[in-house]
Chains A and B, each alone.
Chain A
């Protein structure tokens, strides 16, 4: 168990990076607190896996320092870092039995055999693989293979951190849920620092206390699931989290109001000076009220997704989405009102504070 500090980490896969675009990771400054459950969330290619591999030592960062509990481990190889990592695709040593697979990371570190046995039995019980323990790890389903991979990651009880790199991608949906719950339970029981990489927001939000959202090699926001939903710091977070994502409307500022096309929308506070920047107004579909009053919109499509309906409409030529209850009626002359408490203002994609509101 350890506190993991990333100190100005930059990484490029090119031998001589010149511009920022050459970096897979552009300046990451973050601390994973001891015993925290973190999710690294972001689209494919945003640098999540690179960051994870830098922590485990599979990749050595081009710049910056990495500290475990204040100890500099930047130059240490993977074996010396005492990190467990589970990969996206299962790795199973198929000439060994399932039991030996789980014992492998322990035996490699010369753990006494009676301790190995106790630990492996625990993992077997946890993953439900007891009936296969003495069989060769061959001809297994993808689920079972990934359980073995997960089990090997969890086998060592003294690791600094356990890193998961999209470990449930190959697993059936119902199994996914069960395994994720188990991981969470394990986290509560043993208090390991866990970092979970995923591009699935539900997975991230249900697993982690703190979600780290990455975009194009940078951390754009760190926060609780609630913060990410309510106050996205970057338009990407607004768009990536939530389904559908946040509505973003190009706007102009006029005192304490925002102008979108011909409409003026009152802001909860007066923003600071924002000269010459690209200004956008952000509102989640959940906080767009559809009714007979407010700004007129033209509805293009209504999607029924079960308990809710998603209304796609046009406001002043801009596409906007609203979520309404399944029984709510769509008026003949539809208008929308934005809930002022949930308005966010963005300048060049970054959120700006408004007076009188955090």
Chain B
């Protein structure tokens, strides 16, 4: 028989208190707003699920959601293969290693709003290197007026900012592979593709899972960089959920709807992350 000592619960108290202040209480405030309505004077009425129904029925919400999903899909489709490709081609030994690592880490060290500003200036057609350059080449590029150009610029910016993360994680996975594997593969006559498929990819599998999860969550929550670059425009073409949420909460001061939207937004990210995680951890083991 095990002796149960309930005093052990006291040990958990400090953590509980911390989590309560950092997560539970703020979250509950949002929940609180989401089920009430007010006409001012700090008087609240019970609204039930009205706000949720309103959010889920609004075209504006679904349009922003569609843009978010499209954005995450596009940047994952670019950054993951590109990151793997760069990691595979980075040197394994010699002076090139620290040089490459530092260059790769640089974009990750820049604050988000600075990244937005850099690209905002970079893309300007009057003084920006990119905008001016494309203009000189005779291309009709203008991220302020043209939705496609705005999207291309935002995606380029995200790829520039975050591919390094995928590269560094993959590289860490790659350098952990002992030389003996490559030697054995040579003896076995494995092609370049077979080496990648059966040696390198399985070894990168775990870190790649982390990279994809991080990139998905981060890109789904993207706010600062497009806000600085385009402010959600032209029109609403680059208005992502987070930008829309801020407009709703602070711009229109529609607290109830914004709170309901936050909760939906949060649940979606939680669900997606769980799906990704389950799929990727089960991949490769279920057939065994």
Measured CB to CB, the residues of A under 8 A from B are 53, 56-58, 77-79, 83-85, 87-89, 91, 93-96, 104-105, 108-109, 135-136, 138, 149, 152-153
Contact = CB atoms under 8 A, between A and B. Distances in A.
Interface of B: 178, 180-181, 183-184, 186-191, 194, 198-199, 202, 284-285, 287-288
Contacts, number: 57
A79 B180 contact: no
Given A53-B183, A77-B186, A136-B287, 19 more contacts: A57-B186, A84-B187, A85-B183, A87-B180, A89-B180, A91-B181, A94-B202, A95-B198, A96-B198, A104-B190, A104-B194, A104-B198, A105-B189, A108-B188, A108-B189, A108-B194, A135-B288, A136-B285, A136-B288
A78 B184 contact: no
B13 to A, nearest CB: 40
B201 to A, nearest CB: 8
The CB with the most chain A CB atoms within 10 A, among B187, B191, B202, B285, is that of B187
B186 A138 contact: no
24 contacts: A53-B183, A57-B186, A58-B187, A78-B187, A79-B189, A84-B187, A85-B183, A88-B180, A89-B178, A91-B183, A91-B184, A93-B202, A94-B202, A95-B198, A95-B284, A104-B188, A104-B194, A104-B198, A105-B189, A108-B190, A136-B285, A136-B287, A149-B184, A152-B184
B208 to A, nearest CB: 13
The CB with the most chain B CB atoms within 10 A, among A53, A78, A88, A153, is that of A78
Nearest to A96: B198
The CB with the most chain B CB atoms within 10 A, among A77, A83, A93, is that of A93
Nearest to B186: A78
Nearest to B205: A95
Given A93-B199, A95-B198, A136-B288, A108 B184 contact: no
A85 B185 CA distance: 10
Contacts of A138: 285, 288
Contacts of A79: 186, 189
A109 B202 CA distance: 22
A109 B284 CA distance: 25
Nearest to A155: B188
Contact of A109 (B178, B189, B198, B199): B189
Contacts of B186: 57-58, 77-79
A105 B180 contact: no
B202 A95 contact: yes
A79 B188 CA distance: 8
Nearest to A79: B189
A13 to B, nearest CB: 13
Contacts of A84: 187
A135 B288 CA distance: 6
Nearest to A82: B189
Nearest to B183: A58
Given A78-B186, A95-B202, A136-B287, A108 B180 contact: no
A223 B70 CA distance: 72
Contacts of B194: 104, 108
The CB with the most chain A CB atoms within 10 A, among B178, B186, B191, B199, is that of B186
A91 B190 contact: no
B209 to A, nearest CB: 15
Q: Which 10 A/B pairs are nearest by Cβ-Cβ distance?
A: A136-B288, A91-B184, A108-B189, A105-B188, A78-B186, A93-B198, A95-B202, A85-B187, A79-B189, A87-B180
A272 B287 CA distance: 74
Contact of A83 (B187, B198, B199, B287): B187
Contacts of B191: 108
Nearest to A105: B188
A104 B199 CA distance: 12
A68 to B, nearest CB: 15
A95 B285 CA distance: 8
Nearest to A136: B288
The CB with the most chain B CB atoms within 10 A, among A79, A89, A149, is that of A79
A91 B187 CA distance: 11
B286 to A, nearest CB: 10
A51 B188 CA distance: 19
A136 B181 CA distance: 18
A94 B288 CA distance: 10
Contact of B180 (A91, A95, A109): A91
Contacts of A95: 198, 202, 284
Contacts of B288: 135-136, 138
A274 B54 CA distance: 107
Contacts of B202: 93-95
A104 B186 CA distance: 12
B237 to A, nearest CB: 42
A259 B19 CA distance: 87
B285 to A, nearest CB: 8
A182 to B, nearest CB: 20
B174 to A, nearest CB: 16
Contacts of A135: 288
B187 A105 contact: yes
A143 to B, nearest CB: 17
Nearest to B287: A136
B144 to A, nearest CB: 49
Contacts of B180: 87-89, 91
The CB with the most chain B CB atoms within 10 A, among A85, A109, A135, is that of A85
Contacts of A108: 188-191, 194
